[in-house]
Chains A and B, each alone.
Chain A
Amino acid sequence: MAEQRDRYQAGVMPYAQMGYWDPDYEPLDTDVIAVFRITPQDGVDAVEAAAAVAGESSTATWTVVWTDRLTACDRYRAKAYRVEAVPGAPGQYFSYIAYNLDLFEEGSIANLTASIIGNVFGFKPLKALRLEDMRIPVAYLKTFQGPPTGIVVERERLDKFGRPLLGATTKPKLGLSGKNYGRVVYEALKGGLDFVKDDENINSQPFMHWRDRYLYCMEAVNKAAAATGEVKGHYLNVTAATMEDMYERADFAKQLGSCIVMIDLVIGYTAIQSMAKWARRNDMILHLHRAGHGTYTRQKTHGVSFRVIAKWMRMAGVDHIHAGTVVGKLEGDPNVIKGIYSNCRDSFTQKNLEHGVFFDQDWAGLRKVMPVASGGIHAGQMHQLISYLGEDVVLQFGGGTIGHPQGIQAGATANRVALETMIKARNEGRDIWNEGPEILAVAARWCAPLRAALETWKDVTFNYQSTDTADFVPTATVA
């Protein structure tokens, strides 16, 4: 850094010289670390761009200010300490930046993100900027409540072990009356699903107001529980215009005996944290639909990667999060999805560049989030789903249940039989990745609904090149 007297001369000075670049810096165990993908404008040096990102996401402004000298400013300056070229992507650089713990308010995702993804994403000297990953220190994690329920307690409450949970989203997602909507819920639960789900945009529209939906859905949930002897649930979406409305809806869901409520990502980080606290106080599982995330997570050069969003949501405190299917209709490279699932379910996540995980992350005892796989999946893919996603996951077959040619109950039964058959075979030591189709075919001999499901959807696959892939694999993978 320049001599103190020169450093504080009025005027403009490169960020790197202002103290936001320090290649010798050794991050502290208590530092928050972020890795950004930066694409500098032509002619802008990568190190200066990295320093600018560090500056603009911490203390800096565009010019020197003498008031820095009233503070322990060196502590508060974020420090870019490493810049490396992105493999196979000319003009792009990974820049590692460390932030002192004192820069952040305890237990506040809003505060954390106001710095890390605040002004800096519109900064002119950069063509594009993407937050790839973060290391959250244990000291900071311990200030967050985390998931109100977590995978372990959710399973114990639901009395469901040893297999993925099964769900479906009611379709059509808009337009059904409350009574018809509840019919879909009842049929699917009785047929064998554990959960049915409101879709992200079903709130309280002219065709079905929220109270009506809740009343009919809970009739369906309880009738199905009586018919099967199992705990059943329906994610009642409480997303609304104001916190007051959301609390009113959530309280009504609780009065009716629902075990789970749901929110959308678009309600914002603070609202999510408020609902997480409400859910912990009220013994409620909290499901998060990631509505809106694709606007900023999908493109590799600009935005925030979903593995970071998943991390923030585990801290903010949700029990379920939609995290990709690999094989379904929505974006999901297998390696990137593995990284996201690690962030949801590990007690300690190990650095794994092939999965897009840049840091070791000790989760400090924070409860685990159940990932949800939803969108264009069907019974015929069961062996692939279990191989990719494991056991602690909710598999949601919406169209794959409700679109079954023999009806909704049959659709649910086909999925449940396919699931239990595949878990049983896996536990028996069968190679389900290769023998999966044959294992399903054998079960389909005694299970007519499964036979019909396999016949209807046998050729359905979504083999498109993924957009969001890890940079440290030789070639992008196709599902």
Chain B
Amino acid sequence: MRITQGTFSFLPDLTDDEIRAQIDYAIEQGWAIGIEYTDDPHPRNCYWEMWGNPLFDLHDSAGAMREVLACREKNRACYVRVNAFDSTRGFETTRLSFIVNRPAEEPGFLLKRHEVEGRHIQYTLESYAAQAPAGRRYE
């Protein structure tokens, strides 16, 4: 399966030039760039590991791109995403978030059904990969 979180997951994986163009756009909007990675892509896992602090006050995409490449190099078997943060009043949140690296194989999720009273079912999603200890997933 292919996890389709992020703004551009239905498109072919972005090339480095395409990633750079999106970072340029975010910088033009005055947004800060954050790079994050994880080996636990559960949709409710909102805290991916931060690849350092977000990069504020950027003038061009060169520095951010270097960090994207470094993070990707170090975490080939993880999901890596680029986030853009907007500190403007009324937003103060992520404005763009897209995946720039994914593991070669994505085993996906098990849907567990816990049947309770009546026809009521309680659902739980479990990532197949996250069954293994951190660091040994997606090996």
Contacts and interface: CB of A to CB of B under 8 A. Distances in A.
Contact of A152 (B9, B22, B83, B93): B93
Contact of A161 (B10, B43, B96): B96
Contacts of B138: none
Interface string A228-263: 111100000000000000000000000111000000
A162 B96 contact: yes
Contact of B1 (A155, A161, A162, A227): A227
A424 B123 contact: no
B85 to A, nearest CB: 10
B33 to A, nearest CB: 13
Contact of B43 (A225, A417, A421): A225
A155 B94 contact: yes
B4 interface: yes
Interface stretch (A2-10, A69-77, A215-223, A320-328): A215-223
Nearest to B29: A427
Given A162-B98, A423-B8, 18 more contacts: A152-B90, A159-B5, A161-B93, A161-B97, A162-B7, A162-B97, A225-B43, A225-B109, A226-B110, A226-B125, A229-B5, A229-B43, A229-B108, A416-B10, A417-B10, A420-B9, A423-B7, A424-B18
B121 interface: yes
A192 B4 contact: yes
A420 B21 contact: no
B7 A161 contact: yes
Contacts, number: 106
Interface in A406-439: 413, 416-417, 420-421, 423-424, 427-429
Nearest to A190: B4
Contacts of B12: 446
B120 A256 contact: yes
A156 interface: yes
Contacts of B43: 159, 225, 229-231
Given A162-B95, A229-B43, A413-B10, A424 B22 contact: yes
Contacts of B98: 162
Interface of A: 152, 155-156, 159, 161-163, 192, 215, 218-219, 222-223, 225-231, 255-257, 346-347, 368, 413, 416-417, 420-421, 423-424, 427-429, 443, 446
B104 interface: no
Contacts of A159: 5, 43, 46, 97
Contact of B111 (A223, A256, A420, A428): A223
A222 B93 contact: no
B1 to A, nearest CB: 7
12 contacts: A161-B96, A162-B98, A215-B119, A226-B125, A228-B3, A230-B43, A416-B10, A420-B7, A428-B21, A428-B22, A429-B21, A446-B12
Contacts of B94: 155-156, 161
Nearest to A450: B10
Nearest to B83: A161
Nearest to A215: B119
B120 A222 contact: no
Interface residues of B, number: 41
B92 interface: yes
A230 B4 contact: yes
A257 B122 contact: yes
Contacts of B123: 218, 222, 257
**Of listed B18, B42, B43, residue having the most chain A CB within 10 A:** B43
A347 B89 contact: yes
B73 to A, nearest CB: 24
B66 interface: no
B59 interface: no
Contacts of A227: 1, 108-109
A152 B95 contact: no
Contacts of A429: 21, 25
Contacts of B22: 424, 427-428
Nearest to B17: A428
A257 B114 CA distance: 13
Contact of B3 (A156, A229, A256, A446): A229
Contact of B125 (A162, A222, A255, A443): A222
A159 B94 CA distance: 9
B90 A228 contact: no
A205 to B, nearest CB: 19
B91 A152 contact: yes
A427 B11 contact: no
B10 A424 contact: no
B74 interface: no
